[in-house]
Amino acid sequence: MSGTVRGTSRRWVLAVLSLTQLVVVLDGTIVSIALPQAQHELGMTDGQRQWVVTAYALVFGALLLLGGRVADYWGRKRTFLVGLVGFGVASVFGGLSQSGLELVIARGLQGLFAALLAPAALALLTITFASGRDRNTAFAVFGTIGGGGAAVGLVLGGVLTEFASWRWCLLVNVFFVVVGLIAGILVLTESKASGDNRYDVWGAVTVTLGLGSLVYGFSIAEEGWGSPGTIGFLALGVVLLVTFVWIETRVAQPLLPLRVVLDRVRGGAFLIQAIVGSVLIGATLYLTFHFQIVMGMEPLAAGLANVAMTVVILLVVPVVTRFLSVIGPRPFMIAGPLIAAGGLLYLSFITPDGSYWTQVLPALALLGIGLAMIFVPLQNLALTGVAAHDAGAASATVNSAMQIGGSIGLSVFTVVYVGALDGSLAAGSPQLQALTDGYAAVFAAAAVALVVASLIAVFLIRGKEDELQPQPHDGVPAFAAHLG
Protein backbone atom coordinates (compact mmCIF):
# COMPACT_ATOMS: atom_id res chain seq x y z
CA MET A 1 0.00 0.00 0.00
CA SER A 2 1.40 3.36 -0.99
CA GLY A 3 0.59 6.97 -0.48
CA THR A 4 0.85 8.27 3.06
CA VAL A 5 0.40 11.92 3.94
CA ARG A 6 2.56 13.64 6.53
CA GLY A 7 2.74 16.97 8.30
CA THR A 8 0.25 19.79 8.22
CA SER A 9 -1.12 18.65 4.85
CA ARG A 10 -3.06 15.99 6.77
CA ARG A 11 -5.28 18.75 8.13
CA TRP A 12 -6.17 19.68 4.58
CA VAL A 13 -6.93 16.05 3.82
CA LEU A 14 -9.27 15.97 6.81
CA ALA A 15 -10.94 19.19 5.65
CA VAL A 16 -11.49 17.89 2.10
CA LEU A 17 -12.84 14.51 3.19
CA SER A 18 -15.07 16.04 5.86
CA LEU A 19 -16.53 18.44 3.29
CA THR A 20 -17.50 15.60 0.98
CA GLN A 21 -18.86 13.60 3.91
CA LEU A 22 -21.11 16.55 4.67
CA VAL A 23 -22.39 16.61 1.08
CA VAL A 24 -23.22 12.89 1.03
CA VAL A 25 -25.06 13.02 4.35
CA LEU A 26 -26.96 16.27 3.91
CA ASP A 27 -28.22 15.18 0.49
CA GLY A 28 -30.22 12.51 2.25
CA THR A 29 -32.31 15.23 3.95
CA ILE A 30 -31.93 18.49 2.04
CA VAL A 31 -34.42 17.40 -0.63
CA SER A 32 -37.03 16.35 1.96
CA ILE A 33 -37.88 19.96 2.78
CA ALA A 34 -38.09 20.80 -0.93
CA LEU A 35 -40.36 17.90 -1.88
CA PRO A 36 -43.76 19.62 -1.46
CA GLN A 37 -42.66 22.50 -3.73
CA ALA A 38 -40.99 20.15 -6.24
CA GLN A 39 -44.04 17.88 -6.30
CA HIS A 40 -46.33 20.82 -7.09
CA GLU A 41 -44.08 22.26 -9.80
CA LEU A 42 -43.37 18.95 -11.55
CA GLY A 43 -46.87 17.50 -11.10
CA MET A 44 -45.75 14.37 -9.26
CA THR A 45 -48.12 11.95 -7.57
CA ASP A 46 -47.55 10.91 -3.94
CA GLY A 47 -46.09 7.62 -5.22
CA GLN A 48 -43.62 9.40 -7.49
CA ARG A 49 -42.75 11.79 -4.67
CA GLN A 50 -41.49 9.05 -2.38
CA TRP A 51 -39.19 7.75 -5.11
CA VAL A 52 -37.23 11.01 -5.02
CA VAL A 53 -36.01 9.89 -1.59
CA THR A 54 -36.11 6.14 -2.24
CA ALA A 55 -33.97 6.27 -5.39
CA TYR A 56 -31.07 7.92 -3.55
CA ALA A 57 -31.23 5.65 -0.50
CA LEU A 58 -31.73 2.43 -2.47
CA VAL A 59 -28.94 2.92 -5.02
CA PHE A 60 -26.56 4.28 -2.37
CA GLY A 61 -27.20 1.37 -0.03
CA ALA A 62 -27.18 -1.36 -2.68
CA LEU A 63 -23.91 -0.24 -4.29
CA LEU A 64 -21.99 0.82 -1.18
CA LEU A 65 -20.19 -2.51 -0.80
CA LEU A 66 -19.19 -2.53 -4.46
CA GLY A 67 -18.08 1.09 -4.17
CA GLY A 68 -15.72 0.12 -1.37
CA ARG A 69 -14.23 -2.64 -3.50
CA VAL A 70 -13.79 -0.27 -6.46
CA ALA A 71 -11.97 2.22 -4.24
CA ASP A 72 -9.62 -0.46 -2.88
CA TYR A 73 -8.83 -2.04 -6.24
CA TRP A 74 -8.97 0.87 -8.71
CA GLY A 75 -7.43 3.52 -6.45
CA ARG A 76 -8.98 5.48 -3.61
CA LYS A 77 -8.08 8.96 -4.81
CA ARG A 78 -9.19 8.17 -8.36
CA THR A 79 -12.49 6.72 -7.14
CA PHE A 80 -13.01 9.69 -4.83
CA LEU A 81 -12.52 12.22 -7.63
CA VAL A 82 -14.70 10.33 -10.11
CA GLY A 83 -17.42 9.98 -7.48
CA LEU A 84 -17.21 13.68 -6.72
CA VAL A 85 -17.49 14.75 -10.38
CA GLY A 86 -20.33 12.31 -11.03
CA PHE A 87 -22.19 13.49 -7.95
CA GLY A 88 -21.90 17.08 -9.14
CA VAL A 89 -23.14 16.27 -12.65
CA ALA A 90 -26.09 14.29 -11.24
CA SER A 91 -26.93 17.22 -8.96
CA VAL A 92 -27.03 19.64 -11.89
CA PHE A 93 -29.22 17.21 -13.85
CA GLY A 94 -31.61 17.02 -10.89
CA GLY A 95 -31.65 20.76 -10.37
CA LEU A 96 -32.58 21.33 -14.02
CA SER A 97 -35.05 18.41 -14.30
CA GLN A 98 -38.38 19.14 -15.97
CA SER A 99 -40.34 16.09 -14.84
CA GLY A 100 -40.71 13.82 -11.85
CA LEU A 101 -39.04 10.97 -13.74
CA GLU A 102 -35.98 13.06 -14.50
CA LEU A 103 -35.70 14.06 -10.84
CA VAL A 104 -35.94 10.43 -9.70
CA ILE A 105 -33.27 9.38 -12.22
CA ALA A 106 -31.01 12.21 -11.03
CA ARG A 107 -31.42 11.12 -7.42
CA GLY A 108 -30.53 7.55 -8.37
CA LEU A 109 -27.39 8.80 -10.11
CA GLN A 110 -26.51 10.80 -6.99
CA GLY A 111 -26.80 7.58 -4.98
CA LEU A 112 -24.58 5.75 -7.49
CA PHE A 113 -21.75 8.26 -7.23
CA ALA A 114 -22.21 8.64 -3.47
CA ALA A 115 -21.58 4.88 -3.24
CA LEU A 116 -18.17 5.53 -4.82
CA LEU A 117 -17.44 8.74 -2.92
CA ALA A 118 -18.30 7.73 0.64
CA PRO A 119 -16.21 4.55 1.06
CA ALA A 120 -13.28 6.11 -0.82
CA ALA A 121 -13.31 9.07 1.57
CA LEU A 122 -13.44 6.80 4.62
CA ALA A 123 -10.60 4.64 3.28
CA LEU A 124 -8.44 7.70 2.54
CA LEU A 125 -9.05 8.98 6.05
CA THR A 126 -8.12 5.61 7.56
CA ILE A 127 -4.85 5.51 5.60
CA THR A 128 -3.92 9.14 6.23
CA PHE A 129 -4.47 8.88 9.98
CA ALA A 130 -3.06 5.45 10.69
CA SER A 131 -2.91 5.50 14.50
CA GLY A 132 -2.63 7.50 17.68
CA ARG A 133 -4.35 10.62 18.96
CA ASP A 134 -4.49 12.25 15.54
CA ARG A 135 -6.48 9.29 14.23
CA ASN A 136 -9.00 9.54 17.05
CA THR A 137 -9.35 13.29 16.52
CA ALA A 138 -9.76 12.89 12.76
CA PHE A 139 -12.49 10.30 13.08
CA ALA A 140 -14.22 12.31 15.79
CA VAL A 141 -14.37 15.30 13.41
CA PHE A 142 -15.46 13.09 10.52
CA GLY A 143 -18.15 11.38 12.60
CA THR A 144 -19.44 14.63 14.09
CA ILE A 145 -19.86 16.17 10.66
CA GLY A 146 -21.65 13.04 9.50
CA GLY A 147 -23.96 13.15 12.50
CA GLY A 148 -24.76 16.82 12.03
CA GLY A 149 -25.08 16.63 8.26
CA ALA A 150 -28.71 15.59 8.38
CA ALA A 151 -29.62 18.64 10.47
CA VAL A 152 -27.61 20.92 8.18
CA GLY A 153 -29.52 19.46 5.23
CA LEU A 154 -32.89 20.23 6.80
CA VAL A 155 -32.01 23.84 7.60
CA LEU A 156 -30.16 24.52 4.35
CA GLY A 157 -32.99 22.92 2.39
CA GLY A 158 -35.45 25.19 4.17
CA VAL A 159 -33.42 28.32 3.43
CA LEU A 160 -32.89 27.49 -0.25
CA THR A 161 -36.48 26.40 -0.86
CA GLU A 162 -38.01 29.42 0.86
CA PHE A 163 -35.73 32.14 -0.45
CA ALA A 164 -34.65 30.72 -3.82
CA SER A 165 -36.14 27.53 -5.27
CA TRP A 166 -36.27 23.82 -4.51
CA ARG A 167 -33.87 23.37 -7.45
CA TRP A 168 -31.07 24.99 -5.46
CA CYS A 169 -31.25 22.14 -2.96
CA LEU A 170 -29.53 20.13 -5.70
CA LEU A 171 -27.60 22.85 -7.51
CA VAL A 172 -25.89 23.96 -4.27
CA ASN A 173 -23.83 20.76 -4.44
CA VAL A 174 -21.84 22.23 -7.33
CA PHE A 175 -20.10 24.61 -4.89
CA PHE A 176 -19.06 21.74 -2.61
CA VAL A 177 -17.98 19.60 -5.56
CA VAL A 178 -15.79 22.28 -7.14
CA VAL A 179 -14.05 23.06 -3.84
CA GLY A 180 -13.63 19.37 -3.03
CA LEU A 181 -12.35 18.53 -6.50
CA ILE A 182 -9.66 21.24 -6.59
CA ALA A 183 -8.54 20.54 -3.04
CA GLY A 184 -8.65 16.77 -3.57
CA ILE A 185 -6.40 16.94 -6.62
CA LEU A 186 -3.90 19.04 -4.68
CA VAL A 187 -3.76 17.31 -1.29
CA LEU A 188 -4.85 13.68 -1.68
CA THR A 189 -2.37 10.90 -2.44
CA GLU A 190 -3.27 7.77 -4.38
CA SER A 191 -3.34 4.35 -2.75
CA LYS A 192 -4.84 0.97 -3.56
CA ALA A 193 -4.94 -2.58 -2.22
CA SER A 194 -2.21 -4.91 -3.44
CA GLY A 195 -2.48 -8.51 -4.61
CA ASP A 196 -4.94 -10.37 -6.79
CA ASN A 197 -8.17 -8.41 -6.58
CA ARG A 198 -11.33 -9.49 -8.35
CA TYR A 199 -14.74 -7.88 -8.45
CA ASP A 200 -17.81 -9.86 -7.45
CA VAL A 201 -19.78 -8.54 -10.43
CA TRP A 202 -22.60 -11.07 -10.34
CA GLY A 203 -23.01 -10.56 -6.62
CA ALA A 204 -23.35 -6.80 -7.18
CA VAL A 205 -25.85 -7.30 -10.02
CA THR A 206 -28.09 -9.74 -8.16
CA VAL A 207 -28.19 -7.82 -4.87
CA THR A 208 -28.88 -4.50 -6.61
CA LEU A 209 -31.63 -5.86 -8.86
CA GLY A 210 -33.04 -7.95 -6.01
CA LEU A 211 -33.33 -5.01 -3.63
CA GLY A 212 -34.70 -2.79 -6.40
CA SER A 213 -37.36 -5.35 -7.28
CA LEU A 214 -38.29 -5.79 -3.63
CA VAL A 215 -38.63 -2.05 -3.03
CA TYR A 216 -40.66 -1.56 -6.21
CA GLY A 217 -42.93 -4.42 -5.22
CA PHE A 218 -43.64 -2.77 -1.89
CA SER A 219 -44.15 0.62 -3.55
CA ILE A 220 -46.93 -0.66 -5.85
CA ALA A 221 -48.63 -2.64 -3.09
CA GLU A 222 -51.23 0.13 -2.88
CA GLU A 223 -52.75 -1.60 -5.93
CA GLY A 224 -53.36 -4.53 -3.62
CA TRP A 225 -51.06 -7.05 -1.95
CA GLY A 226 -52.58 -9.75 -4.13
CA SER A 227 -52.09 -7.94 -7.44
CA PRO A 228 -49.91 -9.71 -10.04
CA GLY A 229 -47.45 -6.81 -10.15
CA THR A 230 -46.92 -6.74 -6.40
CA ILE A 231 -46.54 -10.50 -6.08
CA GLY A 232 -44.34 -10.72 -9.16
CA PHE A 233 -41.82 -8.06 -8.13
CA LEU A 234 -41.68 -9.22 -4.51
CA ALA A 235 -41.12 -12.82 -5.63
CA LEU A 236 -38.47 -11.76 -8.14
CA GLY A 237 -36.70 -9.76 -5.44
CA VAL A 238 -36.62 -12.75 -3.09
CA VAL A 239 -35.30 -15.06 -5.83
CA LEU A 240 -32.54 -12.59 -6.77
CA LEU A 241 -31.50 -12.09 -3.14
CA VAL A 242 -31.38 -15.87 -2.57
CA THR A 243 -29.24 -16.10 -5.71
CA PHE A 244 -26.97 -13.40 -4.27
CA VAL A 245 -26.48 -15.44 -1.09
CA TRP A 246 -25.66 -18.53 -3.18
CA ILE A 247 -23.13 -16.56 -5.22
CA GLU A 248 -21.45 -15.26 -2.06
CA THR A 249 -20.81 -18.84 -0.93
CA ARG A 250 -19.11 -19.68 -4.24
CA VAL A 251 -16.83 -16.76 -5.15
CA ALA A 252 -13.29 -16.37 -3.85
CA GLN A 253 -13.67 -12.67 -3.02
CA PRO A 254 -17.33 -12.11 -2.17
CA LEU A 255 -18.90 -8.68 -2.08
CA LEU A 256 -20.30 -9.52 1.36
CA PRO A 257 -18.60 -12.37 3.25
CA LEU A 258 -21.51 -14.18 4.87
CA ARG A 259 -19.54 -14.66 8.07
CA VAL A 260 -19.99 -10.91 8.65
CA VAL A 261 -23.79 -11.13 8.86
CA LEU A 262 -24.34 -14.66 10.22
CA ASP A 263 -23.00 -13.87 13.68
CA ARG A 264 -26.00 -13.53 16.00
CA VAL A 265 -25.02 -10.22 17.61
CA ARG A 266 -23.86 -8.58 14.37
CA GLY A 267 -26.89 -9.89 12.48
CA GLY A 268 -29.17 -8.43 15.14
CA ALA A 269 -27.35 -5.09 14.93
CA PHE A 270 -27.78 -5.00 11.14
CA LEU A 271 -31.51 -5.76 11.43
CA ILE A 272 -31.99 -3.04 14.03
CA GLN A 273 -30.03 -0.60 11.86
CA ALA A 274 -32.36 -1.36 8.94
CA ILE A 275 -35.42 -0.66 11.08
CA VAL A 276 -33.89 2.57 12.38
CA GLY A 277 -33.20 3.54 8.76
CA SER A 278 -36.84 2.93 7.88
CA VAL A 279 -37.87 5.36 10.61
CA LEU A 280 -35.26 8.05 9.93
CA ILE A 281 -35.59 8.02 6.15
CA GLY A 282 -39.18 6.85 5.82
CA ALA A 283 -41.39 7.89 8.71
CA THR A 284 -39.86 11.27 9.55
CA LEU A 285 -40.32 12.40 5.94
CA TYR A 286 -44.06 12.46 6.57
CA LEU A 287 -43.55 14.72 9.56
CA THR A 288 -41.97 17.24 7.17
CA PHE A 289 -45.06 16.98 4.97
CA HIS A 290 -47.30 17.54 7.98
CA PHE A 291 -45.38 20.69 8.93
CA GLN A 292 -45.68 22.25 5.49
CA ILE A 293 -48.90 20.91 4.00
CA VAL A 294 -51.14 20.68 7.06
CA MET A 295 -49.63 23.13 9.57
CA GLY A 296 -48.72 25.62 6.83
CA MET A 297 -45.12 26.16 7.90
CA GLU A 298 -42.71 27.82 5.50
CA PRO A 299 -39.81 25.54 4.41
CA LEU A 300 -37.26 27.16 6.73
CA ALA A 301 -39.57 26.86 9.75
CA ALA A 302 -40.23 23.22 8.85
CA GLY A 303 -36.50 22.54 8.67
CA LEU A 304 -35.87 24.15 12.04
CA ALA A 305 -38.82 22.28 13.56
CA ASN A 306 -37.22 18.98 12.52
CA VAL A 307 -33.82 19.89 13.99
CA ALA A 308 -35.19 19.52 17.55
CA MET A 309 -34.71 15.75 17.33
CA THR A 310 -31.08 16.13 16.26
CA VAL A 311 -30.39 18.54 19.11
CA VAL A 312 -31.77 16.05 21.64
CA ILE A 313 -29.64 13.27 20.11
CA LEU A 314 -26.48 15.37 20.43
CA LEU A 315 -27.30 16.17 24.05
CA VAL A 316 -28.05 12.57 25.04
CA VAL A 317 -25.18 10.83 23.23
CA PRO A 318 -22.49 11.90 25.78
CA VAL A 319 -24.67 10.67 28.64
CA VAL A 320 -25.22 7.29 27.00
CA THR A 321 -21.51 7.03 26.19
CA ARG A 322 -20.63 7.60 29.83
CA PHE A 323 -22.91 4.81 31.06
CA LEU A 324 -22.23 2.38 28.23
CA SER A 325 -19.13 0.94 29.89
CA VAL A 326 -21.03 0.56 33.17
CA ILE A 327 -24.19 -1.28 32.14
CA GLY A 328 -23.25 -2.52 28.68
CA PRO A 329 -25.03 -2.04 25.35
CA ARG A 330 -27.88 -4.54 25.69
CA PRO A 331 -30.12 -2.47 28.01
CA PHE A 332 -29.77 0.52 25.70
CA MET A 333 -30.56 -1.58 22.63
CA ILE A 334 -33.75 -2.86 24.27
CA ALA A 335 -34.97 0.35 25.88
CA GLY A 336 -33.92 2.78 23.13
CA PRO A 337 -36.31 1.48 20.46
CA LEU A 338 -39.17 1.41 22.99
CA ILE A 339 -38.63 5.04 23.99
CA ALA A 340 -38.42 6.08 20.33
CA ALA A 341 -41.56 4.04 19.63
CA GLY A 342 -43.30 5.98 22.41
CA GLY A 343 -42.42 9.22 20.63
CA LEU A 344 -43.86 7.97 17.34
CA LEU A 345 -46.97 6.67 19.07
CA TYR A 346 -47.42 10.14 20.60
CA LEU A 347 -47.14 11.59 17.08
CA SER A 348 -49.89 9.28 15.85
CA PHE A 349 -52.40 11.40 17.81
CA ILE A 350 -51.66 14.61 15.88
CA THR A 351 -54.59 16.73 14.71
CA PRO A 352 -54.79 19.23 11.81
CA ASP A 353 -55.07 22.22 14.16
CA GLY A 354 -52.70 20.94 16.85
CA SER A 355 -49.78 22.94 18.24
CA TYR A 356 -46.17 22.06 17.44
CA TRP A 357 -45.20 22.67 21.07
CA THR A 358 -47.71 20.22 22.55
CA GLN A 359 -48.29 17.64 19.81
CA VAL A 360 -44.89 17.40 18.11
CA LEU A 361 -41.99 18.65 20.25
CA PRO A 362 -42.49 16.15 23.12
CA ALA A 363 -42.58 13.35 20.56
CA LEU A 364 -39.37 14.54 18.90
CA ALA A 365 -37.69 14.67 22.33
CA LEU A 366 -38.64 11.05 23.05
CA LEU A 367 -37.58 10.02 19.57
CA GLY A 368 -34.20 11.75 20.00
CA ILE A 369 -33.57 10.12 23.38
CA GLY A 370 -34.42 6.67 22.05
CA LEU A 371 -32.33 7.03 18.90
CA ALA A 372 -29.31 8.27 20.87
CA MET A 373 -29.53 5.17 23.05
CA ILE A 374 -29.45 3.05 19.88
CA PHE A 375 -26.76 4.92 17.95
CA VAL A 376 -24.03 4.82 20.58
CA PRO A 377 -23.75 1.02 21.01
CA LEU A 378 -25.07 -0.02 17.60
CA GLN A 379 -21.97 0.72 15.52
CA ASN A 380 -19.69 -1.15 17.90
CA LEU A 381 -22.01 -4.15 18.07
CA ALA A 382 -21.97 -4.30 14.28
CA LEU A 383 -18.17 -4.68 14.42
CA THR A 384 -18.03 -7.05 17.40
CA GLY A 385 -15.66 -9.93 16.69
CA VAL A 386 -15.00 -8.87 13.08
CA ALA A 387 -11.59 -9.86 11.75
CA ALA A 388 -9.44 -6.96 10.54
CA HIS A 389 -9.76 -7.95 6.88
CA ASP A 390 -13.57 -7.90 7.18
CA ALA A 391 -13.79 -4.52 8.92
CA GLY A 392 -14.46 -2.60 5.72
CA ALA A 393 -17.22 -4.96 4.64
CA ALA A 394 -18.81 -4.86 8.10
CA SER A 395 -18.72 -1.05 8.22
CA ALA A 396 -20.21 -0.80 4.74
CA THR A 397 -22.93 -3.28 5.70
CA VAL A 398 -23.97 -1.07 8.62
CA ASN A 399 -24.47 1.85 6.27
CA SER A 400 -26.10 -0.30 3.59
CA ALA A 401 -28.57 -1.59 6.18
CA MET A 402 -29.51 1.99 7.08
CA GLN A 403 -30.09 3.07 3.49
CA ILE A 404 -31.79 -0.11 2.31
CA GLY A 405 -33.98 -0.21 5.40
CA GLY A 406 -34.93 3.38 4.67
CA SER A 407 -35.85 2.68 1.05
CA ILE A 408 -37.94 -0.38 1.91
CA GLY A 409 -39.48 1.36 4.91
CA LEU A 410 -40.46 4.41 2.89
CA SER A 411 -42.15 2.21 0.29
CA VAL A 412 -44.10 0.33 2.95
CA PHE A 413 -45.02 3.49 4.86
CA THR A 414 -46.23 5.09 1.64
CA VAL A 415 -48.63 2.19 1.15
CA VAL A 416 -49.82 2.66 4.75
CA TYR A 417 -50.23 6.39 4.16
CA VAL A 418 -52.19 6.01 0.92
CA GLY A 419 -54.48 3.39 2.47
CA ALA A 420 -55.27 5.55 5.50
CA LEU A 421 -55.70 8.67 3.34
CA ASP A 422 -58.11 6.96 0.95
CA GLY A 423 -60.05 5.44 3.83
CA SER A 424 -60.40 8.79 5.55
CA LEU A 425 -61.50 10.54 2.35
CA ALA A 426 -64.01 7.77 1.67
CA ALA A 427 -65.43 8.33 5.16
CA GLY A 428 -66.07 11.98 4.28
CA SER A 429 -63.19 13.62 6.16
CA PRO A 430 -61.96 17.05 5.00
CA GLN A 431 -58.71 17.09 3.02
CA LEU A 432 -56.45 18.26 5.85
CA GLN A 433 -57.98 15.74 8.27
CA ALA A 434 -57.49 12.94 5.75
CA LEU A 435 -53.85 13.91 5.23
CA THR A 436 -53.31 13.98 8.98
CA ASP A 437 -54.91 10.54 9.31
CA GLY A 438 -52.47 9.26 6.67
CA TYR A 439 -49.45 10.68 8.48
CA ALA A 440 -50.70 9.37 11.83
CA ALA A 441 -51.00 5.87 10.37
CA VAL A 442 -47.37 6.07 9.22
CA PHE A 443 -46.19 7.10 12.69
CA ALA A 444 -48.13 4.24 14.28
CA ALA A 445 -46.65 1.73 11.83
CA ALA A 446 -43.15 3.07 12.51
CA ALA A 447 -43.75 2.68 16.26
CA VAL A 448 -44.61 -0.99 15.69
CA ALA A 449 -41.40 -1.42 13.67
CA LEU A 450 -39.33 -0.06 16.57
CA VAL A 451 -41.03 -2.42 19.01
CA VAL A 452 -39.89 -5.23 16.71
CA ALA A 453 -36.37 -3.78 16.88
CA SER A 454 -36.50 -3.98 20.66
CA LEU A 455 -37.57 -7.64 20.47
CA ILE A 456 -34.69 -8.34 18.10
CA ALA A 457 -32.33 -6.90 20.72
CA VAL A 458 -33.90 -9.08 23.42
CA PHE A 459 -33.33 -12.31 21.49
CA LEU A 460 -30.18 -11.62 19.44
CA ILE A 461 -28.07 -9.07 21.34
CA ARG A 462 -26.95 -11.58 23.92
CA GLY A 463 -23.59 -12.60 25.34
CA LYS A 464 -21.16 -11.88 28.12
CA GLU A 465 -20.97 -8.20 29.01
CA ASP A 466 -17.29 -7.89 28.11
CA GLU A 467 -18.01 -9.45 24.68
CA LEU A 468 -20.62 -6.79 23.92
CA GLN A 469 -18.61 -3.83 25.14
CA PRO A 470 -16.97 -1.55 22.56
CA GLN A 471 -13.52 -2.86 21.65
CA PRO A 472 -10.55 -1.15 19.98
CA HIS A 473 -10.31 -2.28 16.39
CA ASP A 474 -7.61 -2.17 13.76
CA GLY A 475 -10.15 -1.52 11.07
CA VAL A 476 -12.50 1.41 10.66
CA PRO A 477 -13.47 2.95 14.03
CA ALA A 478 -17.05 2.15 14.82
CA PHE A 479 -18.18 5.70 15.47
CA ALA A 480 -17.13 6.65 11.95
CA ALA A 481 -18.92 3.75 10.32
CA HIS A 482 -22.24 5.49 10.07
CA LEU A 483 -22.43 7.55 6.87
CA GLY A 484 -25.93 8.82 7.30
Nearest to 84, CA basis, from 191, 213, 175: 175
pLDDT in tens, 91-140: 999 999 999 999 999 999 999 999 999 888 888 887 787 666 776 677 66
Rounded-to-integer distance, Cα 477 and Cα 56, Å: 25
Give the confidence band of 484 by pLDDT, cuts at 50, 70, 90: very low
Rounded-to-integer distance, Cα 97 and Cα 103, Å: 6
Give the confidence band of 356 by pLDDT, cuts at 50, 70, 90: very high
| DSSP category for residue 7 | T
Helix 30-42 × helix 299-327 angle, to 10°? 150
User: Is the pLDDT assigned to residue 472 strictly greater than 60?
Assistant: no
When mean pLDDT is compared across 25-29, 180-184, 237-241, 454-458, the lowest value belongs to 25-29
Q: What is the DSSP string of 32-96?
A: HHHHHHHHHHHT--HHHHHHHHHHHHHHHHHHHHHHHHHHHHH-HHHHHHHHHHHHHHHHHHHHT
When mean pLDDT is compared across 35-49, 334-348, 380-394, the lowest value belongs to 380-394
When mean pLDDT is compared across 47-61, 319-333, 459-473, the lowest value belongs to 459-473
Residues 6+ apart with CB under 8 A from 314: 147, 148
Nearest to 63, CA basis, from 39, 83, 43: 83
User: Is the pLDDT assigned to residue 277 strictly greater than 50?
Assistant: yes
Percentage, residues of the chain above pLDDT 70: 89
| Residue 3 contacts residue 190 (beta carbons within 8 Å) | yes
Please tell me the predicted confidence (pLDDT) of residue 466.
54
Give the confidence band of 73 by pLDDT, cuts at 50, 70, 90: confident
pLDDT in tens, 358-413: 999 999 999 999 998 998 888 778 777 777 667 667 777 878 888 899 999 999 99
| DSSP category for residue 166 | T
Of residues 366 and 224, which shows the higher confidence score? 366
Residue 353 CB burial class (10 angstroms; 0-12, 13-18, ≥19) = exposed
Say which amino acid occupies 125: L
Give the confidence band of 465 by pLDDT, cuts at 50, 70, 90: low
Give the confidence band of 416 by pLDDT, cuts at 50, 70, 90: very high
User: Is the pLDDT assigned to residue 456 strictly greater than 70?
Assistant: yes
User: Is the pLDDT assigned to residue 475 strictly greater than 70?
Assistant: no
User: Is the pLDDT assigned to residue 482 strictly greater than 50?
Assistant: no
Residues 6+ apart with CB under 8 A from 145: 18, 21, 22, 25
Rounded-to-integer distance, Cα 330 and Cα 23, Å: 33
Give the confidence band of 71 by pLDDT, cuts at 50, 70, 90: confident
Rounded-to-integer distance, Cα 269 and Cα 398, Å: 8
Task: Give whole-number Cα distances, 145 to 23, 25, 73, 78, 90, in Å.
Answer: 10, 9, 27, 23, 23
| Residue 482 contacts residue 128 (beta carbons within 8 Å) | no
| Residue 22 contacts residue 176 (beta carbons within 8 Å) | yes
pLDDT in tens, 164-211: 999 999 999 999 999 999 989 988 888 877 666 788 889 989 999 999
Give Cα 331 to chain centroid, integer Å. Answer: 24
Please tell me the predicted confidence (pLDDT) of residue 362.
97
How much is the mean pLDDT over the chain? Answer: 86
When mean pLDDT is compared across 26-30, 208-212, 290-294, 473-477, the lowest value belongs to 473-477
For the beta carbon of residue 395, count every other beta carbon within 10 angstroms.
29
Compute φ and ψ for 371, nearest 5 degrees.
Answer: -65, -35
